[in-house]
Amino acid sequence: MIEPYVAALSTYAKDIDDVIMLITLLVGFWFLLAQGALLGFCWVYRKRDGQKAQYITGEEKSQMRWVSIPLVLIVCCDIYIALADGPVWAKVKEDLPPAERKVRVIAQQWAWTFVDAGPDGQLDTADDITTMTDLHVEVGKLYHFELQSLDVIHGFSVPVFRLKQDIIPGRTIIGWFEATGTGTYDIQCTEICGIGHGLMPGRIIIETAEQHASWLAEHSELSVASNTLPQAAQE
Amino acid sequence: MAESIPATHEESHGDSHGGHHEESWVIKYLWSTDHKIIAMQYLFTGMFMALIGGFFAYTFRMQLAFPGESIPGWGMLTPPDYNALVTNHGTIMIFWVAMPVLIAAFGNFLIPLMIGCDDMVFPKLNRLSFQIFFLSTVVLLASFLVPGGAFGGAWTAYPPLSAQSAYSLTPWGAPLWVLAVALEFVAFLMGGINFVTTTMNSRAPGMKMHDIPMIIWMIVIASIIFMLSVGPLVAGAVMLLFDQLLGTGFYDPARGGDPVLWQHLFWFFGHPEVYVVLLPAMGIVVEIITTFSRKKFFAYKATLYTTFAAGIISFTVWAHHQFIAGIDPRMAHIFTVTTLLISVPIALITFCSIATLYGGSIRFTTPMLWALAFIFEFLLGGVTGIYLGAAGSDIYFHDSYFVLAHFHYTFFPIGIIATFAAVTYWFPKMFGRHLNETLGKIHFWGTVIPFNVIFIPLFVLGLAGQHRRIYAYTLFPDLAKAEFQDLRVLATVALLVLLVFQVVFLYNFFVSCFKGRKAEDNPFEANSLEWTAASPPPHGNWPELPTVYRGPYEYSVPGREKDYWPQNEPS
């Protein structure tokens, strides 16, 4: 359902798409059944001359069954959805597989700053690479990201990864992703963050190992000279 | 006061219906304690605010369809304007349209008339309730005129954005917004006290608990839910006001506060609030479909007890608004289960409404069309909620246009479709005249069809990952594609069509008020007590208060000549 519009490019994107498809099939069935009953009754029981309505209280068990049996089946569907959904949620939000790469994401009114750990793989070292707006990542590597905000609540969303997480000032929220395909896509701020909320685009550039290596080489020299975080608009 | 109904009447209205002197227009219409006049005050204020909320929707939909172009009636729309308009559209439509119309207007009009008493038990509190509500309306509208403009931090007002003017850039607008919302809640608390007390104490002799019409039960349960949930939010709002004006740090992490605290307090109220407006809407639908299918309501008791259950469960689902907001991820599993669970009582009420049609003799009058459309549209709003209640799929849909389309498929049926159902159904009772049926049906189709054409494209944009509250998508290459822009234009054009058709309603409403065909007391041959009063009912409602002998849904009882059996008719 999502893929015709947005590519699925993370190791958990397909899992989320599968949950969405499962929900579509189950609720779609009940939706069509209920609409069918509604429209069918409207047609069959429209007013006709000389025909009186029936007197049905719905309080007797034999009558209640028409509602209670569907409800039990709906509860079963709900349980099935919860069981299918739980592991997907846990995979994205609770599990934290070991990191191969690290990146820090800093949001502020109204810009993104990305700090790549650089060749040594450690944040807060001299070879960190700081970029604005563009996040460069390597395909097939497991990234940990650290989300920080300098002012208000922002939201870090990468639709092609099916990843979304609010960024809370005063906290560092850690999560992970692993890209499965290359290309350049939108990063969105998904929590209203002031008058420039719509003027805060980001881009994720998912690169092959070679492309990423050359980007790293190109930038690490520069960044050694200026390795501190921009303290821009906060004060 | 409740133990002596006739005395209440004399005390609270004094000389007002003794015929000693003519009341001035101000006393009669602006300073009245009559529940019907107060209902009209709420109804007309709500309708006025709906026009403003609709105009706001027009401005920001125009901006989204034709970014950067001058909008007729507004001009160039800047990003601060956009945020303020989006924020106040949501605020107005929920707190100043759905609440005052569904609960306050129809609660006030219907409760005394449907349970058979002459007025609310606390008429002066009722008048004060509307006066405070009116004040809150003035405060909210005034926030557009202050330096910095109206608040633009979304109707959910998450701090720190809402708490500090350095972030929101609306030093006056933000506190006025909080103040208006808090005043409004005070007004509805008073209303709720009146609704619950009146229903419990002032019912006509013979009206047992299971003889109370479903709409009255729904308003009472909604009032209870509101009164139990609003406390934490008012406390939260006071802390927010302190953060804004006194520089406290309740929500400021730099000073030991926590911004997520507000989200818990807000949604602890905010989700029950959905049921506060949903339940009266469903009650309206029950009254109308039983009348126009000439059927007893299917499973009255099961529906009633299920509604209580839904009210209780509604207090346990709030954090599904916060799955990705930085709460402990393990909590998501619990809230997924409670959220999926609440689909069950709502499904039961919906199924019982559909089952009521079975074996009926359905008349497709204008109110019946609205009531059926409510079920039809609300079903889509209901099932799309499952995607958002399941935490895993919510990761993708959260804060996207899918959410927006989902809740408009619930709130539009609630706040607009059910309201039109109620207005067209009770209009003869309210004004003593009939609406024009042909114009009513033109307005119905001219509203319901464009509604779907607005929001189905927005579902598609949600699937495509379009995020909310964005002024223009030109900076987002994945969303700026021409095929998505076509969908935005389609939604906006459909909105324009919908708005134009509201002129038909306004014309029909105001012309029929004065020139419509005179209505008899019980034009639809319905059972409940309001139809035994004159149309419109005089001050005091009945010359002699009615006595009740049966439930409100005894339609097409076998062995009776007539296919209805009024509640007050001795057997």
B92-145: pLDDT as tens digits: 999 999 999 999 999 999 999 999 999 999 999 999 999 999 999 999 999 999
Q: Rounded to a whole number, what is the distance in Å from the CA of A221 to chain B's nearest CA?
A: 31
- Crossing angle for the helix pair B173-201 and B106-115, to the nearest 10 degrees: 0
Give domain status of residue B554, yes or no.
no
pLDDT of A233 strictly over 80: no
Give domain status of residue B546, yes or no.
no
Give domain status of residue B559, yes or no.
no
Give A108's strand partners. Answer: A111
B13 pLDDT tier (thresholds 50, 70, 90): very low
In a 3-state reduction of DSSP, which class is residue A102?
Answer: strand
Selected residues 78-97 of chain A with any CB under 8 Å from a CB in chain B: 78-79, 81-82, 85-86, 88-90, 92-94
Give domain status of residue B16, yes or no.
no
Q: Does A64 touch chain B (CB under 8 A)?
A: yes
Contact: A20, B387; criterion CB under 8 Å: yes
DSSP A121-183: T-TTSTT-EEEESEEEEETT-EEEEEEEESSS-EEEEEGGGTEEEEE-TT--EEEEEEB-S-E
pLDDT (average), residues B445-468: 98
Nearest CA in chain A to B352: A67
B14 pLDDT tier (thresholds 50, 70, 90): very low
Contact: A78, B258; criterion CB under 8 Å: no
How far does Cα B482 stand from its chain's mean position? 36
Question: Containing H/E element for B326?
Answer: none
* Best A192, A204, A206, A235 residue to mutate vs chain B (most B CBs within 10 Å): A192
Mean pLDDT of chain B: 94
A192-204: pLDDT as tens digits: 999 999 999 999 9
Model pLDDT, residue B31: 87
In a 3-state reduction of DSSP, which class is residue B242?
Answer: helix
CB pairs under 8 A between A and B: 288
Chain A hits for B301, CB-CB cut-off 8 Å, are: 59
Of B303, B270, B273, B312, which Cα lies nearest the Cα of B285? B303
pLDDT (average), residues B421-431: 98
Give domain status of residue B557, yes or no.
no
Q: Which domains does chain A have, with CATH numbers?
A: 13-94 (no CATH), 101-225 (2.60.40.420)
Model pLDDT, residue A226: 59
B354 pLDDT tier (thresholds 50, 70, 90): very high
Model pLDDT, residue B571: 83
Model pLDDT, residue B21: 59
In a 3-state reduction of DSSP, which class is residue B159?
Answer: coil
Give domain status of residue B189, yes or no.
yes
Q: Rounded to a whole number, what is the distance in Å from the CA of A12 to chain B's nearest CA?
A: 10
Lowest-confidence pick of A225-234, B102-111, B535-544 = A225-234
Give domain status of residue B551, yes or no.
no
pLDDT (average), residues B417-441: 97
Q: Does B480 touch chain A (CB under 8 A)?
A: no
Model pLDDT, residue A104: 98
pLDDT (average), residues B51-77: 96
Model pLDDT, residue B2: 40
Exposure string for B491-514, b = 16+ CB within 10 A, e = fewer: bbebbebbbebbebbeebbeebee
Report the CATH number that the domain containing residue B82 is assigned in CATH: 1.20.210.10
Selected residues 111-150 of chain A with any CB under 8 Å from a CB in chain B: none
Percent residues over pLDDT 70 in chain B: 96
Q: Does A61 touch chain B (CB under 8 A)?
A: no
Q: Are A164 and A157 a contacting pair, CB within 8 Å?
A: yes
A65-88: pLDDT as tens digits: 999 999 999 999 999 999 999 999
pLDDT of B19 strictly over 70: no
Contact: B351, A71; criterion CB under 8 Å: yes
Model pLDDT, residue B506: 97
Q: Does A183 touch chain B (CB under 8 A)?
A: no
Model pLDDT, residue B469: 95
The secondary structure of residue A1, as a DSSP letter, is -
Neighbours of A55 (CB within 10 A): 17
| Alpha helices, DSSP H, located in chain A | 13-44, 61-89, 209-225
In a 3-state reduction of DSSP, which class is residue A207?
Answer: strand
Neighbours of B343 (CB within 10 A): 25
Contact: B79, A58; criterion CB under 8 Å: no
B207-248: pLDDT as tens digits: 999 999 999 999 999 999 999 999 999 999 999 999 999 999
Structurally, chain B folds into a number of domains equal to 1
* Best B478, B483, B565 residue to mutate vs chain A (most A CBs within 10 Å): B478
Q: What values do phi and psi take at B125, rounded to 5?
A: -65, -35
B18 pLDDT tier (thresholds 50, 70, 90): very low
Domain span holding position B332 = 32-532
pLDDT of B4 strictly over 90: no
In a 3-state reduction of DSSP, which class is residue B433?
Answer: strand
Q: Does B312 touch chain A (CB under 8 A)?
A: no
Q: Rounded to a whole number, what is the distance in Å from the CA of B435 to chain A's nearest CA?
A: 22
Nearest CA in chain A to B484: A5
B488-499: pLDDT as tens digits: 999 999 999 999
B159, B348, B475: residue with CB nearest A71: B348
B392-419: pLDDT as tens digits: 999 999 999 999 999 999 999 999 999 9
Model pLDDT, residue A227: 52
Give A183's strand partners. Answer: A206
Burial of B385 (0-12, 13-18, 19+ CB in 10 A): buried
Selected residues 81-120 of chain B with any CB under 8 Å from a CB in chain A: 82-83
Model pLDDT, residue A225: 58
Give domain status of residue B541, yes or no.
no
Burial of B138 (0-12, 13-18, 19+ CB in 10 A): exposed
Contact: B169, A195; criterion CB under 8 Å: yes
